Amino acid sequence: MSEVAAASILPKTDGLLGRISDLFWRRPGFLLFLMLLPPLLWLGIIYVGSLIALLLQSFFAIDDFSGLVVYEITLDTYKQLLIPANFDIILRTILMAATVTVASAALGFPIAYYAARYATGKWKAVFYLGVMLPLWSSYLVKVYAWKLILAKEGILTWIFEKLHLSWLLDAVLALPVIGGNSLSISYIGTFLVFVYIWLPYMILPTQAALERVSGNLIEASSDLGATPGQTFRTVLLPLALPGLIAGSIFTFSLTLGDYIIPQIIGSSRLFIGQAVYTQQGTAGNVPLAAAFSVVPIVIMGVYLWAAKRMGAFNAL
Amino acid sequence: MTSAVSFSKVSRHFGAVRAVDAVDLVIEPGEFFAMLGPSGSGKTTCLRLIAGFEQPTSGHIEIFGETAEGVPPYRRNVNTVFQDYALFPHMNILDNVAYGLMVKGVGKAERHRLAEEALALVKLPSYGARKPGQLSGGQRQRVALARSLVNKPKVLLLDEPLGALDLKLREQMQEELKSLQRKLGITFIFVTHDQGEALSMADRVAVFSEGRIVQAGSPREIYNRPRTRFVADFVGSSNVIAPEAMAKLGGERKWASLRPEAIVLAREGIAASVKATSFLGSATRVSVQAGETALSVMVPAGQPAPEVGATVRLSWKPSDVHYMEGEA
């Protein structure tokens, strides 16, 4: 009898690896458990754990006289958020995050649309490179580069001068509240840099969502008598909405939490991130810092709940 | 009477590719017209030219006497049933069907009533609240049909609508489409690569090859009197016989087609040996070799089918041999 003929139809395995494979095949749940254990430990202990520690802090308060944290559950720290100086910080941050998000969506959508609908082969690669390239260099370098661009003696002022449009720049800077002495110390400057820094996070999920919208849905809509505008409102936008919402979660929450951009570019008025930074550092008021940190969490929760209520995730 | 759709010298080129090449075509109102051809033969591009998704590179298209060039799809009273149905995944079935009415500004109550009617027409009443993802392929196909019909189009375009269905469902839908078309009197233009489907459903068939129409006519004409070898090959299970072989078999020295059911097993005639048989239910297909020529013969059920390896004698009426155009 030859070797080949001796091979069994259902051969047994002898090796250890073979036995392990067989065990996993018989108990797929065990494999899943082993795979999920490390990330769950990481998320559960390090991530959620520290979040809970932070939340707990916010329910303590600081003793005004001694400056020490009093470990008693109280809502006093949250009340402090409502005093005008602190509430202004929250309002300012939310407004900035909202305008940055809307602007990112308006700028990002056409780019994402082009990439998903028209770009193929080489142009697709150019798109990914173009969108990702800014993410490769340090965030600080980019922000300081923008400081130079936007400064009073910066490139932008020079360009406006050369184009004989200085009056336009001056008119923009003369706007109340959002204007200022130069772009680099105005809300407009902060806004521009936020949009620049977070734009890729809006484009990529939007492009992924649009990529999944089959081209003949657009054709079907047109075939059924919808003008391009109607097709956009009733087919394209609803189907791209989960991507836009995902992108807006990035742009909105990243803006809510950032403390470096408004510190380098903008008026000296504080944003939530800066408030957290100063409260836990120089001011030594960890409970108030924690309470400030809870604000973005609550806002994002409300935002997602509202988005779900409006049917933003129906197309998922 | 104005024709429903007329093409005169219509071409659509994509770079160097002539997807549609100087096509002349007239489709009458109320006709069930099939465009038949292999993939890449230009039939789908023709359909897209009528729908308005493509514009002709040259030539002139009229739809019910009106010039169609430059008119966008959303301003054509023509609707399409897409190959993969293209139902809107984020809308329920009722809103899908009512979509065309919605964009035209028909009120909610009215459009939902009309959509319900259209769903009843395709035998899917009370499915309105479901999402497309919850329906089977056959049901989605009916929804796509209802979504088009609710707009009362003058011309309905169907792009391989039955391609994704299984055989039984496909046969059922063929009959339903046919009776629906008779009932509504709408011009149906149907693209398919399935010759059986085209022949059984259409009033007239145009056979496409390489961007041109090779032959247009009634299914009977196309089947019995194919104009070229290509048509004979593509449309039928017909025997296509080369000029030399035809001469040897006692006919003219021309390309010829001979339908398998026209050949009978007789006592006298051309000797042939049986190579294979396949039982089809209503008949048995017998592949025979007569000299150098391979032929297929249809033996009706009820007659004894020969065994493989047996020698049989074949005969046919000379009038059943159809000679085709093309080089000898």
**Residue A155 token pair:** 């490139």
Question: Which of B84, B99, B145, B155 would you mutate first to test chain A, the one with the most A CBs within 10 A?
Answer: B99
Q: Is residue A105 in a domain? A: yes
Q: Is residue A265 in a domain? A: yes
CB spacing of A223 vs B103 below 8 angstroms: no
Between A198 and A1, residue with greater pLDDT:
A198
* Cross-strand pairs, B20: B12
Inform me whether the pLDDT recorded for A2 exceeds 80. no
List all residues of chain A from 95 to 154 with a beta carbon under 8 Å from chain B.
none
Query: Which residue is it, tokens 């004894």?
Result: B304
CB-based contact (8 Å) between A232 and chain B?
no
**Nearest CB to A217 within list B74, B88, B102:** B88
- The alpha carbon of residue B225 and the mean position of all alpha carbons in its chain are separated, in whole angstroms, by 17
Specify whether the CB–CB gap between A104 and A243 falls below 8 A: no
Cβ contacts (< 8 Å) between A226 and chain B: which residues? 74, 99, 103
* Cross-strand pairs, B27: B5
CB-based contact (8 Å) between A233 and chain B?
no
CB spacing of A219 vs B82 below 8 angstroms: yes
Q: Is residue A64 in a domain? A: no
Other C-beta atoms closer than 10 Å to the C-beta of B20 total 28
User: Quick one: CA torsion of B265, B270, B274, B276, rounded to 10 degrees?
Assistant: -80
CB-based contact (8 Å) between A220 and chain B?
yes
**What is the second-level CATH architecture of the domain B238-323?**
Beta Barrel (2.40)
Cβ contacts (< 8 Å) between A238 and chain B: which residues? 90
Dist CA B59 CA A230 (whole Å): 31
Q: Using alpha carbons only, give the angle A302, A305, A308 rounded to the nearest 5 degrees.
A: 150
Query: Considering only CA atoms, which of A288, A286, A262, A280 is closest in space to residue A194?
Result: A262
Q: Is residue A139 in a domain? A: yes
CB spacing of A234 vs B151 below 8 angstroms: no
Angle between helices A237-257 and A272-280 (to 10 degrees): 30
Q: What is the pLDDT of residue B328?
A: 44
Sign of CA dihedral A237, A239, A245, A251: negative
Q: What is the pLDDT of residue A1?
A: 47
Dist CA A44 CA A55 (whole Å): 15
Cβ contacts (< 8 Å) between B84 and chain A: which residues? 214, 216
Inform me whether the pLDDT recorded for A150 exceeds 50. yes
Dist CA A58 CA A289 (whole Å): 8
CB spacing of A216 vs B79 below 8 angstroms: no
CB-based contact (8 Å) between A315 and chain B?
yes
Q: What is the pLDDT of residue B103?
A: 95
Locate the chain B residue with the closest alpha carbon to A231.
B103
Other C-beta atoms closer than 10 Å to the C-beta of B139 total 19
Q: Write the burial class of residue B300 (CB in 10 Å: 0-12 exposed, 13-18 middle, 19+ buried).
A: exposed
Query: Mean pLDDT, chain B, as a whole number?
Result: 90
Sign of CA dihedral A70, A75, A77, A83: negative
* Domain interval for residue A302: 80-309
User: Quick one: CA torsion of B286, B290, B292, B297, rounded to 10 degrees?
Assistant: -30
Please report which residue ranges of chain B form alpha helices under DSSP H. 43-51, 93-103, 108-121, 137-149, 167-184, 195-201, 219-224, 229-235, 243-248
Where in the sequence of chain B do the CATH 3.40.50.300 domains occur? 5-231
Locate the chain A residue with the closest alpha carbon to B79.
A223
Between A37 and A69, residue with greater pLDDT:
A37
Q: What is the pLDDT of residue A153?
A: 87
| pTM metric for this prediction | 0.80
Q: What is the pLDDT of residue A181?
A: 82
Q: How far is B47 from chain A (nearest CA, A)?
A: 12
Share of chain A above pLDDT 90, in %: 44
Cβ contacts (< 8 Å) between A214 and chain B: which residues? 84, 86
Q: What is the pLDDT of residue A315?
A: 59
ipTM associated with this complex: 0.85
User: Quick one: CA torsion of B83, B87, B89, B93, rounded to 10 degrees?
Assistant: -140
> Which residues in chain B come in under a pLDDT of 50?
328
How many domains does the structure of chain A reveal? 1
Q: What is the pLDDT of residue A6?
A: 61
Task: Specify the amino acid at residue A279.
Answer: Q
- The string over B33-56, giving b where at least 16 C-beta atoms fall within 10 Å of a residue's C-beta and e elsewhere, is bbbbbeeebbbbbbbbbbbbbbeb
Q: Give the helix, strand, coil percentages of chain A, each rounded to 5.
A: 75, 0, 25
Inform me whether the pLDDT recorded for A5 exceeds 70. no
Q: How far is B159 from chain A (nearest CA, A)?
A: 12
Locate the chain A residue with the closest alpha carbon to B53.
A219
**Nearest CB to A226 within list B84, B103, B147:** B103
Q: How far is A314 from chain B (nearest CA, A)?
A: 6
Cβ contacts (< 8 Å) between A235 and chain B: which residues? 88
pLDDT per residue as tens digits for the range A163-177: 998 888 888 888 888
pLDDT per residue as tens digits for the range B118-162: 999 888 888 889 999 999 888 999 999 999 999 999 999 999 888
> Right CATH number for B5-231 from 3.40.50.300, 3.20.20.70, 3.30.413.10, 3.30.70.260?
3.40.50.300
- Torsion region of B152: left, alpha or beta (phi above 0 gives left; psi -120 to 50 gives alpha): left
Q: Is residue A75 in a domain? A: no
Q: Give the CATH number of the domain where residue A129 resides.
A: 1.10.3720.10
Query: Considering only CA atoms, which of B245, B250, B232 is closest in space to residue B294?
Result: B245
Cβ contacts (< 8 Å) between B87 and chain A: which residues? 220
CB spacing of A224 vs B100 below 8 angstroms: yes
Q: How many CB pairs under 8 A join A and B?
A: 66
Task: Specify the amino acid at residue B6.
Answer: S
Q: What is the pLDDT of residue B10?
A: 94
- The string over A219-249, giving b where at least 16 C-beta atoms fall within 10 Å of a residue's C-beta and e elsewhere, is bbbbbbbbeeebbbebbbebbbbbbbbbbbb
User: Which of the four pLDDT bands, split at 50, 70 and 90, describes residue A314?
Assistant: low
Dist CA A75 CA B289 (whole Å): 98
Locate the chain A residue with the closest alpha carbon to B157.
A223
**Residue B115 token pair:** 């959509």
CB spacing of A219 vs B102 below 8 angstroms: no
Query: Mean pLDDT, chain A, as a whole number?
Result: 88
- The alpha carbon of residue A37 and the mean position of all alpha carbons in its chain are separated, in whole angstroms, by 27
Q: Write the burial class of residue B76 (CB in 10 Å: 0-12 exposed, 13-18 middle, 19+ buried).
A: buried
Other C-beta atoms closer than 10 Å to the C-beta of B106 total 17
Query: Considering only CA atoms, which of A77, A79, A80 is closest in space to residue A59?
Result: A77
Q: Using alpha carbons only, give the angle B237, B238, B239 rounded to the nearest 5 degrees.
A: 120
